[in-house]
Structure 1
Amino acid sequence: MSSRKMLALVAVLLSLLVCSFVQPSFANRSERILDFQSWIQVHRDGSMSVTENIKVICAQQQIKRGIYRDFPTKYKDRYGNAVKVGFEVVSVLRDTNSEPYHIKDLSNSKRVYIGHKNVFLKPGIYTYTISYKTSRQLGFFEDFDELYWNVTGNGWNFVIEKVEAVVELPQWAEVLQSAGYTGRYGSKGKDYSTGFDEQGNITFTTTRSLMPKEGLTIAVAWPKGIVVEPTTMEKLGYMWKDNQSAAVAAFGFLILTFFYVLTWFKVGKDPEEGAIIPLFLPPKWVSPALARLIMRVGSSDDKLFAVAVVNMAVKGFLTIKEEDDNVFTLKRTGAGEERLSGGESKIARKLFGSKNKIKLKKTNHSKIGGAKEELQKCLMKAARNKYFDLNSGCFVMGLVITGLTLAVVILGAANLGLAVFMTVWLSIWTFGCFALGATVISAWRGFAAPGGGIKAVNTAGAMGITLFALPFFAGELFGLWAFSSAVSPLAAVTIVVIISINALFYHLLKAPTLAGRKLMDEIGGFKLYLSVAEKERLNILNPPERTPELFEKYLPYALALDVENEWSEQFAEVLAAASKDGGYRPTWYTGNTWRSWNMAGFASSLGTSLPGAISSSSTAPGSSSGSGGGGSSGGGGGGGGGGGW
């Protein structure tokens, strides 16, 4: 072999030997970012141009085809509303040559994959240059404007050996103050230095390597008036565009309100009230319970049933015994059945059947609930459409508008699964909370009513039910917070307002008929007689003589019209005198609440304790649930992170 061939062979062997040492040197090194340079230009119109040079070591571990870079485009403002910033890729290079890329939408960001899925990189050092434009990243404050920018993002899985950021402000913009933060999200590390380059641009340079999930965040402020601040109308436009679910909810609210107001003017407006003249007799054939239902324009409650029970007692059909633990026992006397109204007769059959007495306890909830339902059906049959119109069809149309609005809001939610779940959960939970709230209010009314505070059980009961209800109310607030986080606070608040509008117009759409208005005027005249306390005025009107019998006779009407205290006060002296003379007390009532010297207390207690007992005993057990310098690393705009693919 000639010497020339020998030299050539040696050269080849040496080359292979060198390659064998050099190639593994990259393969054996851990992948990392050697240098992360960011050039940030702030424009007068408030937009920004950013160029990032990212030098990486590829060892075919995570970086196989190239790298990816995440850019957050959706944020939450301090009120929890969505803010969507602009983002547009201008160019992507690898070692100064154009490189293919594609963009994938994530839940709150865009991911730019750099490289081709079928092209794998050789181990080595590569520099990626990403240029992009973004907008709505600046903060406009009272005394200055500011860029608060996460340069690297805190989502990288690689060590970043060095970071340098240069901020180029518009001409004549002076840096008023600046700050920087290094470390993991929320950290306030100061491992950086600042300076100015030859063009006067402020620079930030890290003084140590950043570990995985660490980053650099900067803040730079300049005088106001250099960058154009969005107008109020532009900000509102951004807000509605970013929070489309709230815009839909607001649109639904406007349609619903317009529909209800228009409908109310057409069918829900009450006929004009006539002159109210004191009357000493109730309208013929109008029982106390029917009088209450008509005056409440079809709204039923537990007191409606209590009024009927007291009226049955006054007629001699039954007696009421109140025990110390607020348990009432109703006992049939065997008399007075012929004097009962149609609704009262149905109550009697449902309550007693073949028995003579019944306790108002949960064990009898089926009978008591059935009796309440029968009474309401009977009264509604007698009064609906004749004396008032509920306009239910119009209300159902309002519910349809509400349902469609809610459906569109939910479908546009950022977290669809959570929005659907919380809607179903709140629909059930809120109903229970309303029922529980009504019970709490009723309990405290019984405590605050004259005579109600005498019994310690009233206080203990009101306190107990309140403490029991607090966790459920807290759960309601948590549910509303979770729902608002799924759709946006603005949308959630608007939905709550829409539901409140429905509740309001449920009552407003109810309207008396002309015949009903006339009857309400008559009942109002009788109520005036029951409630007026001025003796001189009543003497002029020549009212009936006050007697214990008259007090008992019209007590059910006073309870029905919520003037039991006023009616009782008119008879305080008469009943006290009768009690002294013959030991007067009503034959139909037994209990500690009766005191002839405190008739207001007796009547008020009867008007609150009895409905409360009825409410509790008519519900099935278990039917309700029992169960600068203020920043940090990772803050501001920009950010994200990246990795290899």
Structure 2
Amino acid sequence: MRRVSRQMLGALLALASLAAVGEEKIVDFAADIAISGDGALTVTETIVVQAEGANIKRGILRDFPTAYTDRAGNAVRVPFEVIAVRRDGAAEPYALEALANGVRIRIGRADLLLDRGEHRYEIEYRTARQLGFFAAHDELYWNVTGNGWTFAIDRASARVRLPQPVPAARLSAEAYTGPSGARGADYTARVVDGGAEYETTRRLPPHHGLTVVLAFPKGVVAAPSTLERAGWFVRDNVGAGVALAGVLAVWAFLYWRWDRIGRDPKPGPRFPRYDPPSSMSAAAVRFVDKMSFDSRCFAAALLGLGARGYLKIHQNGDGFTLERTGRDVAFGTGEKAMADKLFGGSDVASLQKQYDPSVAAAQKELSDALEHHYADVLFKRNRTPLVLAGFGAMATVAGAIVLRSSVPVVIATAIVLGASLLLFAYLLSAYTQQGRRLKDEIDGLRLYLGVAEGDALARLQNPRLTPEEFAGKLPYALALGVEKTWADRFAAVLGTAAIAQAVSHYYLGSGTDSLADVGSLASSLGDLGATASAAASPPGSDSGSGGGGSSGGGGGGGGGSGW
């Protein structure tokens, strides 16, 4: 019994200790809002707090939003100027701190702790561009307390004063209470000549607030002119203006450079050519045609070496096995170095849909050789304008961020500039005169390899529909992306079995009948390119009147805490 009594006594002492600390809260929040004839507001907030040394140690924080976004997504920035800050009737030190969407007033001194008990803070400030000007009326839609307070508010009130007397019958007052977005009605409102008074009827928990609306006749406050609105828009959206100017400048620069150095020479006459350009491998044909290296260049090189008897390609499931035959053949540009990297000291190599450093090294050897032999001679990539435009794009996005543009503006600017750089990376590449002549030959070869219609076939002077012709030109058909059309043509004349037999000395599919139709052959060749790619890739502004508002809406607002 004695032990129980001691436990109860301890609990009672603990509760007494907690009760002694008390609750930190806002005892009273009263705002006096004076509207001037030019639309500016002078606001005096009287905030009585109960400080217990927990969160309110040195003073309070008052946050005020100054950055908004209108219905069209444009930035709106309202002015805000602190006139005076007082605590318990005497001037109190304060500091202004920038927030993402406004200003924080840090009231108090870091080296001075407050006495426990009530403290009365008065914050006087001036702001503007807070009124709504509508067709039939004007109004103040004002978040008195803000919904960001971390303390409860026992009582909140507001008094709004117009710049001139207006009969109460011509005024309309309403308010909203609760969390942001709520339309609570725990308040009383009284219209008086020249203004209105509002007061809450229930305690506001943390993050709940009071928002008031006063609608008054037009002409009481001078509405901003069109010129004033235009000036505000420009100042508010400097970041968006910089972004737009930057985008236009990058476009203009890139177009100018494309017009000067990125236009291709005019193509020559188009007609079918039955043979590839002299001494050019299938990989080289694709490289020059695309002005870049890709996995199909590598696949075309392997198929070309197979057609010349250097290796055999066996498809097994999702991968391929490559086997050297030992025969001496003529190599195209970069093909010997590629083969040496691929096979190393062995006569067998594997090509699977997973990263293989030997395959990556082989592709790099081929790519480097083709780049060295053909780039700058047959075409110019003209990368210098892209580099300069890239710096301009980065400066534009950085400027938009520094000037506090809205997130959608920054994202849209980055996307547009990125897409522009990608587009002009393609457009700025241009053939030389020599390269244009060679490209004409490649286009003629594509015409021959890609002919599918009967009438067009009949017009060819020398169709040469033989198994040898099919097998020898298949690497070029793969390089130019017309392998299925090429195979379809020969299958219609020679039969599917014959064309499968024609390539059997260097290309064997998986299974005995895997190449029993043209579709499987074309698909298998596509798999060769896809596998080559995988093997070389490492892992890796609204009205608040008429019931259209809510708590937290309108101007003003913010919140606060202690420190």
Q: Which category describes the TM-score, using the shorter chain as reference length? A: 0.7 to 0.9
Q: 2:516 aligned with 1:636, yes or no?
A: no
| Cα deviation 1:136-189 (Å, max 9, x = unaligned) | 334567887653322123455665443222334577798787643334555543
Cα displacement (A) at 1:368: 0.9
- Helix, strand or coil at the partner of 1:571: helix
Counterpart contact for 2:509–2:524, Cα < 8 Å: no
The corresponding residue for 1:438 is none
Distance in 1 (CA, whole Å) between partners of 2:560 and 2:501 is 92
Shift of 1:132: 2.6
Sequence identity, in percent?
41
CA–CA distance in 2 between the matches of 1:202 and 1:355? 94
Summarize deviations over 1:319-339 as a string: whole Å, max 9, x none: 11112x32111111222x323
Alignment of 1:390 onto 2:381? yes
Q: Which runs of 5+ in 1 are unaligned?
A: 1-26, 415-483
Amino acid at match of 2:554: G
Shift of 1:240: 6.0
Q: Residue 380 of structure 1 is aligned with which of 356, 362, 371?
A: 371
1:418 paired residue number: none
Instruction: Tell me the amino acid that sits aligned with residue 448 of structure 2.
Output: Y
Matched with 2:271 is: 277
Q: Which residue of 2 aligns with 1:444?
A: none
Choose which of 494, 500, 503 in structure 1 pairs with 2:413: 494
The amino acid of 2:473's aligned partner reads Y
- Checking the alignment, whether the CA contact within 8 Å between 1:575 and 1:584 is kept in structure 2 is no
- 2:210 pairs, out of 213, 216, 221, with 216
> Once the two structures are superposed, what CA deviation does each residue of 1:403-447 show, in whole Å capped at 9, x if it has no partner?
44455556x287xxxxxxxxxxxxxxxxxxxxxxxxxxxxxxxxx
**How far apart in 1 are the matches of 2:551 and 2:529?**
61
1:355 aligns with 2:346: yes
**Aligned in 2, Cα 1:507/1:63: closer, same or farther, shift over 3 Å?**
closer
Distance in 1, matches of 2:33 and 2:536, equals 71
The match for 2:6 is: none
User: Is the contact made by 1:80 and 1:488 (CA closer than 8 Å) also made in structure 2?
Assistant: no
- The answer for the alignment partner of 1:163 in structure 2 is 156
Q: What residue is the counterpart of 1:426 in the other structure?
A: none
Q: Alignment partner of 2:260: what SS?
A: helix
Give the Cα–Cα distance (whole angstroms) in 1 for the partners of residues 494 and 242 of structure 2. Answer: 63
Select between 124-133 and 273-282 the one with higher mean Cα deviation. 124-133
The residue correspondences of 1:202-601 to structure 2 (distance < 5 A) are 202-211=196-205, 213-221=207-215, 238=232, 241-242=235-236, 246-296=240-290, 298-323=291-316, 325-335=317-327, 337-361=328-352, 365-408=356-399, 412=402, 488-576=407-495, 579=498, 586-592=504-510, 598-599=517-518, 601=519
Residues 318 and 239 (structure 1), Cα distance of their counterparts in 2 relative to 1, 3 Å cut: farther
Aligned AA for 1:162?
A: R
**Where do residues 84-233 of structure 1 align in structure 2 (5 Å cutoff)?**
84-91=77-84, 99=91, 101-107=93-99, 108-112=101-105, 129-139=122-132, 146-156=139-149, 160-168=153-161, 179-185=174-180, 187-197=182-192, 199=193, 201-211=195-205, 213-221=207-215
Task: Determine if contact 2:321/2:349 at 8 Å carries over to the other structure.
Answer: yes
Give, in angstroms, the shift of residue 118 of structure 1. 9.5
After TM superposition, give the deviation of residue 614 of structure 1 in Å.
0.8
Q: Which runs of 5+ in 2 are unaligned?
A: 1-19
* Secondary structure of the structure 2 residue equivalent to 1:270: coil
Report which stretch shifted further, 181-190 or 285-294: 181-190
The structure-2 alpha-carbon separation of the partners of 1:364 and 1:45, relative to structure 1 and needing over 3 Å to count, comes to closer
Quick one: structure 1 residues 58 and 308, their matched pair in 2 at CA, closer, same or farther if it must change by over 3 Å?
closer
Q: Is the 8 A contact 2:24 2:50 kept in 1?
A: yes
Tell me which amino acid in the other structure corresponds to 2:42.
S
- Change in CA separation of 1:140 and 1:373 when aligned onto 2, cut-off 3 Å: farther
CA distance in 2: counterparts of 1:374 and 1:603, whole angstroms: 28
Residue 551 of structure 1 deviates from its aligned partner by: 1.1
Determine if the alignment matches structure 1 residue 617 to structure 2 residue 535: yes
Structure 2 CA distance, aligned partners of 1:121 and 1:592? 84
Q: Is the 8 Å Cα contact of residues 157 and 197 (structure 2) preserved in structure 1? A: yes
- Could you give the per-residue CA deviations for residues 51-86 of structure 1, whole angstroms, max 9, x where no partner exists? 334456789998898766443333466788754321
Q: Is the 8 A contact 2:470 2:502 kept in 1?
A: no
What secondary structure does 1:369 align onto? helix
1-structure distance, mates of 2:497, 2:353? 38
Decide whether the 8 Å contact of 1:35 with 1:163 is kept in 2: yes
CA contact (8 A) 2:144 2:209 kept: yes
Q: Distance in 2 between matches of 1:212 and 1:595?
A: 72
CA drift of 1:342 comes to 3.4
**C-alpha separation in 2, matches of 1:120 and 1:342:** 81
Distance (Å, rounded) in 1 between the aligned partners of 2:375 and 2:399: 36
Pairwise CA distance, 1:291: 1.1
The 3 A distance-change label for structure 1 pair 584 and 103 is closer
Give the direction of change, closer, same or farther, for the CA distance of 1:386–1:191 in structure 2 (3 Å limit): same
More moved, 548-557 vs 84-93: 84-93
Distance in 2 (alpha carbons) for counterparts of 1:228 and 1:306: 75
Instruction: Identify the range of structure 1 (506-515 vs 629-638) with the bigger mean alpha-carbon deviation.
Output: 629-638
Aligned match of 2:40:
47
Residues 266 and 176 of structure 1: is their aligned pair in 2 closer, same or farther, counting only changes over 3 Å? Answer: farther
Q: Does the 8 Å contact 1:37/1:163 carry over to 2?
A: yes
Q: Work out whether residues 362 and 619 of structure 1, in 8 Å CA contact, stay in contact via their aligned partners in 2.
A: no
Q: Which amino acid aligns with 1:535?
A: G
Mark the CA change 1:577 to 1:631 in structure 2 (over 3 Å): closer, same or farther: closer
Q: CA deviation at 1:521?
A: 0.9
SS of aligned partner of 1:519: helix
Distance 1:124 1:351 in 2: 82
Q: Is the 8 A contact 1:548 1:574 kept in 2?
A: no
Secondary structure at 1:148 match in 2 = strand
SS for the counterpart of 2:495 is helix
Q: Distance in 2 between matches of 1:94 and 1:45?
A: 30
1:326-355 Cα distance to aligned partner (Å, 9 max, x none): 2111111222x3233232222222222331
Distance 1:211 1:605, change over 3 A: closer
Change (3 A) 1:560 1:167: same
d(CA) in 1 for partners of 2:294 and 2:228? 50
Q: Which residue pairs with 2:9 in the alignment?
A: none
- Alpha-carbon shift at residue 112 of structure 1 (Å): 4.4
Cα deviations by residue, 1:227-269 (Å, 9 ceiling, x for unpaired) = 6666888667656644655544444333322221111112111
Q: Which has the higher helix share?
A: 1
Work out the CA distance in 2 between the residues paired with 1:539 and 1:51.
Answer: 93
Structure 2 vs 1, CA of residues 313 and 139 (structure 1 numbering), >3 Å: closer, same or farther? farther
Go from structure 1 to structure 2 and tell me whether the alpha carbon gap of 1:289 and 1:28 turns closer, same or farther (over 3 Å shift).
closer
Which range moved further: 165-174 or 307-316? 165-174
TM-score normalised over the length of structure 2: 0.80
- Tell me how far apart the structure 2 counterparts of residues 380 and 393 of structure 1 sit (CA, whole Å): 17
Q: Tell me the TM-score normalised to structure 1 length.
A: 0.71
Q: Which has the higher strand share?
A: 2
Distance in 1 between residues matched to 2:280 and 2:449, nearest whole Å: 16
**1:272 to 1:342, Cα distance in 2 relative to 1, 3 A:** closer
